[in-house]
Each structure stands twice: as structure tokens, then as C-alpha cells.
Amino acid sequence: MKRSSSFSKIKKIDLHKFVPRTAQKGTSPGTVEYIGKPRQETVGINIIEYDDATVTEKKLSSPADLANEINTAGLKWIQVSGVHDTEFLNSLGNLFELNALDMEAIANTTQRPIMIERDHYIFIVLKAVQLETNTNEVIIEQVSMILGDRYVISFHETTPSLFEPLRNRILTAKDRIHRFSSDYLLFALCDVIIDLYFGLLENMGETIEDTEDELILSPVNVNQEAIYKLKRRLVYAKRMIWPTREVITALQITGHDLIKKETKIYFRDIYDHTVQIIESLDSLHEVTSGMMDLYMSAVSNRMNEIMKVLTIFSALFIPITFLAGVYGMNFKVLPETGWKYGYLGFWVVVILISICMLFYFKRKKWF
């Protein structure tokens, strides 16, 4: 079957992100073990410290360097690029007195989005989605965040390029974020991640529209695999966004001292965004289900048309075959066998029968 043009827009997705995995058998709970794609990059730390008047940015290479920075007065956004170095993560966890189970979840890139409250911090895991501009491939990255007093730590599998606009806003020192505490910085990070879902949703909507147009114009040329890939991508998106809504709800209603009352209104805003995204996903899922029904109906109708044509041809040849069989019998005496115009008469009868049958089929609107 011909592959549709919209099929090229539906690339693969990181399936390993949706297959939960745990540490090896026999490992005690709280053991930090990296679970994800093999990586060789060096883990690094980028720290942005700011207050109402100033902002500074530093790149550090080890948790020991960070130990000299955490006691300063400014609010800090600590970006950790890479979660595959477990020794590095353990040192960082010891420095901030993080729970071993939370460190285990940070190193597990198949972790479901969650929010856990601890005594002196809040632990959050979300899934960030990016679309490759050239290949249109969906890339899913786990982002783990620690909200503490005057600091936010964000853990990224790779370089956190998706947060570059937020970083620029902070460095320009012209954004309202400088007037708020660390819980607003956490909101800003969550807002960036959820806004990326709108980009994925827009891409899927455009692809579905293109496929639907092709399906209407030429149903048989639409590839069934393309529709299945669309449905599968919608399922994966929903599996990310449903627990994300639970996380935002928990942040909105929490009584933890780190989330201030005046900041909860902002979490309410991104909660509304998650609801809107889920509603749109449900609508797109219904559309793709209808597309599959339409595709199967079109294929069935096409098959019926083919069978109808073949049946008409078969019906035309049934009386002709009968006549040919009668006059092909090996009897010495057959009527009309000695007639001079017997052969011509045979063809005249055949043509008249064919015309009459076609006229009858047409009158019955069988074709």
C-alpha cells in the first residue's frame, strides 16, 4: 500500500520512557542506580544566583565546589546536567541531605511524574517533551526538581536547553521572578515543561488534519500504520500528562511551608493548562478513532467495488460459457452445425445476450 505523505511526519518516540524499570534484583531500596540510555558525557553543575538587584552565573565541576556556594544569601537555581554518574549524585544528595529513595528516582529515567513532600524540601519529577525540528522526532527527557529554602535544584539527563528562555529572563534581571521566592522559580520551571506539551499537541493536531484530508480525498492511499502511530503517540502523551496534572494539583493544595499562598494561584494557572491539554488529547483520540473506522470502511467499500465488477464480468460470461459448452459437445448430429452462418449467428447471440444483461444491470443500478 502506498505510504501517505503525512506518514513521514510521525517519527518514533522514546518508548523506554514508558516502560518502568527498577534496579537489579537483590538491590536494597534507596540504592542509586542509573536506569536509562547509556551516556558518556561529563556531569556538570550550572548555578544561577540572584536577588532583587543582582544576578550571577557560575559553572562548577563537582559537588565540593557547590558546597562553598550554598550558604550565600541569594536565591539559587542549581542545574545538574546528567544523572548517569551515580557517585556524583550520591555526593550531591549528601550535601543537601536528600532522601535516598528520591536520589534513586532521580537516576531512574523511567520514573513516573510524582510529588513527594519531605521535612526540608519538596521532590518533583516531570517529563519534558521536545520535537526535533528537522526529523520531527519526539524526545522525552525526565526533569527532577528539588525545592528547598532559597534554592531549586533541577536534574537533567542532558544539557537543559529547553530552559534557555527562562535562564535568559533571569540573567536580564528584568523579570518579576527576581521579586519572588524559590517556589515561584519552581512554578516557572513547571510552566516551561507544560508549555512544551502544547507544541507536541499542535504538531499532532496538524498531522491528524493532514492525514484526515488525505483520508477524505483518497482513503486507499492512507497508510494504516500512520493512523496507528498517531493513536500510539496520543496514548503516550496522555500517560505523561495525566500524572503531571496530579503533581500540579498536589503543589496547588499542599500545606508545606515552602509553597507560599500567593504562589499557589500560579500553580492553579498551569493546572488549567494541563486540563486543557487532556481535553484536547481526548478530542484528538476520538478523531483518530474515527479515522480508523473511516479507513476500514473505505477499504471495505473499495473491496466491494472490486468484487462487484468481477461479479458482473462473471455473470456476463455464464450464458456465453453455456452456449460454448453446448456447441462444443462431440455429437455427430447437432442443430445448426451444418448452417452456413452458424459461427456468425453464435457471435450475434453472444453480443445480444451481453447487451441485454448490461442493460438489465444498469436498470437495477448495480453499477
The per-residue DSSP string of 16-76 comes to GGGS---PPTTPPTT----BSS---PPPEEEEEEE-SS-EEEEEESSHHHHHTTTTSSSEE
pLDDT of 282 strictly over 80: yes
- Sequence letter at residue 204: M
DSSP-derived letter for residue 157 is S
Q: What is the mean pLDDT of the chain?
A: 84
- What's the rounded Cα separation, in Å, for the pair 230 and 226? 6
Task: Determine the pLDDT at residue 89.
Answer: 93
Task: Determine the pLDDT at residue 293.
Answer: 79
β pairing state of 75-81 and 114-117:
unpaired
The conformational region for residue 277 under phi > 0 = left, psi -120 to 50 = alpha, else beta, is: alpha
- Segment 326-346 shows an average pLDDT of 81
Cα distances (Å, whole numbers) of residue 33 to 67, 127, 232, 282: 23, 19, 30, 36
Task: Assign 24 a pLDDT band (cuts: 50, 70, 90).
Answer: low
Q: Which residues pair with 139 in a beta bridge?
A: 130
With CA atoms as reference, report the closest residue to 350 among 310, 312, 321.
321
* pLDDT digit string, tens, across residues 253-281: 999 999 998 899 999 999 999 999 999 88
- Segment 37-57 shows an average pLDDT of 87
Task: Determine the pLDDT at residue 3.
Answer: 46
3-state secondary structure of 160: coil
Task: Assign 1 a pLDDT band (cuts: 50, 70, 90).
Answer: very low
3-state secondary structure of 154: strand
**Residue 149 and residue 142 in contact, taking contact as beta carbons nearer than 8 Å:** no
pLDDT of 292 strictly over 70: yes
| C-alpha dihedral, 247 to 147 to 164 to 17, nearest 10° | -40
- What's the rounded Cα separation, in Å, for the pair 89 and 153? 12
- Segment 205-214 shows an average pLDDT of 80
**Residue 290 and residue 231 in contact, taking contact as beta carbons nearer than 8 Å:** no
* pLDDT digit string, tens, across residues 298-314: 778 878 888 888 888 89
- What's the rounded Cα separation, in Å, for the pair 350 and 340? 18
* pLDDT digit string, tens, across residues 108-132: 988 889 999 999 999 999 999 887 7
- Segment 85-89 shows an average pLDDT of 91
Ordered structural domains, the chain, with CATH: 5-297 (3.30.460.20), 305-363 (1.20.58.340)
- Which residues are CB-contacts of 83 (< 8 A; sequence separation ≥ 6)? 34, 36, 43, 89, 106, 107, 109, 142, 144, 155, 156, 157
pLDDT of 224 strictly over 80: no
Q: Sheet containing 151-156: which strands, arranged edge to edge?
A: 55-60, 44-50, 75-81, 151-156, 138-148, 122-131, 114-117
pLDDT of 234 strictly over 90: no
φ, ψ (nearest 5 deg) of residue 341 = -105, 30
Task: Assign 201 a pLDDT band (cuts: 50, 70, 90).
Answer: confident
Q: Which residues pair with 225 in a beta bridge?
A: none
DSSP-derived letter for residue 271 is H
- What's the rounded Cα separation, in Å, for the pair 42 and 58? 17
Residues in the chain: 367
Least confident stretch, 10-24, 55-69, 314-328: 10-24
Share of the chain above pLDDT 90, in %: 31
Task: Determine the pLDDT at residue 274.
Answer: 92
